[in-house]
Amino acid sequence: MYNNPSDGRIKELLTRCKTIAVVGLSDKPHRDSFKVAEYMQCQGYRIIPVHPRVKEVLGEKAYKTLAEIPDKVDLVNVFRKSEETPPVVQEAIPLKPMAVWLQLGIINDQAAQMAIGAGLEFVQDRCIKVEHARLLDDGKQV
């Protein structure tokens, strides 16, 4: 089973990564993906929505796939079912992000092996919002 990077490495990723593509980002404010992306945007990150049926989220143009994004992506944050993550990682690899991050409850060791094999950092089963608040936002409640 894959082990996540240390807190120090996660903190470094969250400090260095400024543009986050969010795969599965919903335009519905009650969804976790929206709440997490909104929090990260409020912390100064650029959020790029990736969702096949959404045009815009949080004032940013949405793309149907990662491959369509014209800009540099530092981190790919994934809100998809665990079994759907390997194709997402495969699509992320050519973008050369620093990391692929699977949200809380999303675990796929095949996706981990693919990302690491391509030289990417990989985080799974962790909420990027919770980790940011814990490691970079003075531990404030989220």
Q: CATH fold of 7-136, please?
A: Rossmann fold (3.40.50)
Of 2-6, 39-43, 57-61, 65-69, minimum mean pLDDT range: 2-6
Look at residues 68, 75, 79, 23 and name the one whose alpha carbon lies nearest to residue 46: 75
DSSP string, 76-104: EEE-S-GGGHHHHHHHHGGG--SEEEEPT
pLDDT at 10 over 90: yes
What average pLDDT score do residues 35-51 get? 98
* Residue 84: burial class (beta carbons within 10 Å; 0-12, 13-18, 19+): middle
Strand, helix or coil for residue 61: strand
Who wins on pLDDT, 2 or 104? 104
Q: Where are the domains of the chain?
A: 7-136
> What predicted TM-score, i.e. pTM, was given to this entire model?
0.95
